[in-house]
């Protein structure tokens, strides 16, 4: 399975999620998934769906995806087909407005925490991308951030905000991180995913923000605000590292864009003569 995940360009976290769920159901029944009957699998998945308020966002979703992947891997594609289909979510991302973002970035007491949240928004980072950043990935002279081996194992370069640059220089001078930009308690010295989630929750509380948002909402806000400021959607797609522009197009439904009345370009060509 590890070989297949690597060959398909999927992330290590994807493999970890699949393995964890396969281990969970295997331990529950005391055998590998292909030895479990259809009725038992359906009963188990039903219990997961009932226990979760939102199955599409829960362990139910990861269990179904993990089992599908496993059955295809062992050549049991007929079992993969029998698994329940997951409805695609139609909800729009929740966006933080500019006043809320300012309050959020000001909320943490520690400079390190303020820098982490601000950097995630300023560069539209995924949480894994943020904790994987290393000190040399920040190029202050060229004002760029090099994001390495992200989703689908792709690298990309995004602009480093001039305002963010000043904050990062101060942070580096005070904290003096080694290797990873944000050191933490993980075995390899990185900041943890759980630590990021906790940081966001605490900052939201201190800022008094009641919206149903999470850390990924900073990335949603980044994309939406770029579109509102006139950046074209193809550029936003590249900055986000999306494989397909259709994924980026969801932000067109939440961005407040100026509506231009339909007209002939000939009129704007000779606008001064009219």
Residues near 58 by Cβ (< 8 Å), separated by ≥ 6? 48, 52
Task: Answer yes or no: are the C-beta atoms of 132 and 116 closer than 8 Å.
Answer: no
CA distance linking residue 152 with residue 7, whole number of Å: 10
Helix boundaries (H) for 124-232 = 127-132, 162-175, 193-207, 216-228
Is 219 noted as a catalytic residue in this protein?
A: yes
Is 70 noted as a catalytic residue in this protein?
A: no
Task: Answer yes or no: are the C-beta atoms of 233 and 252 closer than 8 Å.
Answer: yes
Find the catalytic residue in 72, 146, 156, 216.
Answer: 216
Is 114 noted as a catalytic residue in this protein?
A: no
Residue with tokens 């806000």: 221
Residue with tokens 């930009």: 181
Task: Answer yes or no: are the C-beta atoms of 15 and 1 closer than 8 Å.
Answer: yes
CB atoms within 10 A of CB 167: 17
> For residue 108, which of 216, 215, 201 has the smallest C-alpha distance?
201
Is 222 noted as a catalytic residue in this protein?
A: no
Find the catalytic residue in 18, 69, 222, 251.
Answer: 251
> For residue 106, which of 206, 180, 15 has the smallest C-alpha distance?
206
Find the catalytic residue in 21, 113, 151, 190.
Answer: 151
> For residue 241, which of 132, 134, 136 has the smallest C-alpha distance?
132
Find the catalytic residue in 127, 219, 220, 225.
Answer: 219
Is 185 noted as a catalytic residue in this protein?
A: no
Residues near 33 by Cβ (< 8 Å), separated by ≥ 6? 22, 25, 26, 41, 67, 70, 71, 79
Strand partners, 190: 183
Is 242 noted as a catalytic residue in this protein?
A: yes
Find the catalytic residue in 21, 126, 190, 220.
Answer: 126
Find the catalytic residue in 112, 146, 149, 242.
Answer: 242
Q: Which residues are catalytic?
A: 126, 151, 216, 219, 242, 251
């Amino acid at each position: 399975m590890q070989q297949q995940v690597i060959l398909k360009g999927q992330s290590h976290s994807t493999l970890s999620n699949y393995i964890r769920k396969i281990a969970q159901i295997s331990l529950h029944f005391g055998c590998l998934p292909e030895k479990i009957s259809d009725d038992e699998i359906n009963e188990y998945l039903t219990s997961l769906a009932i226990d979760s308020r939102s199955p599409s966002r829960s362990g139910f979703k990861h269990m179904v995806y993990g089992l599908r992947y496993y059955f295809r891997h062992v050549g049991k594609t007929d079992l993969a087909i029998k698994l329940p289909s997951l409805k695609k979510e139609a909800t729009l991302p929740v966006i933080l407005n500019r006043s809320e973002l300012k309050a959020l970035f000001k909320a943490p007491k520690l400079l390190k925490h303020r820098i982490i949240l601000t950097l995630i928004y300023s560069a539209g980072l995924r949480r894994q991308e943020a904790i994987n950043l290393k000190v040399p990935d920040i190029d202050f002279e060229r004002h760029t951030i090099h994001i390495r081996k992200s989703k689908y194992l792709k690298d990309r370069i995004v602009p480093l905000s001039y305002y963010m640059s000043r904050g990062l220089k101060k942070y580096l001078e005070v904290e003096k991180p080694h290797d990873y930009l944000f050191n933490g308690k993980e075995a390899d010295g990185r900041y943890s995913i759980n630590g990021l989630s906790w940081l966001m929750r605490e900052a939201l509380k201190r800022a008094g923000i009641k919206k149903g948002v999470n850390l990924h909402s900073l990335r949603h806000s980044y994309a939406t605000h770029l579109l509102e400021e006139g950046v074209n959607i193809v550029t936003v797609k590249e900055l986000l590292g999306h494989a397909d522009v259709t994924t980026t197009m969801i932000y067109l439904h939440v961005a407040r864009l100026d509506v231009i009345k339909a007209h002939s370009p000939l009129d704007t060509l000779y606008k001064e003569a009219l």
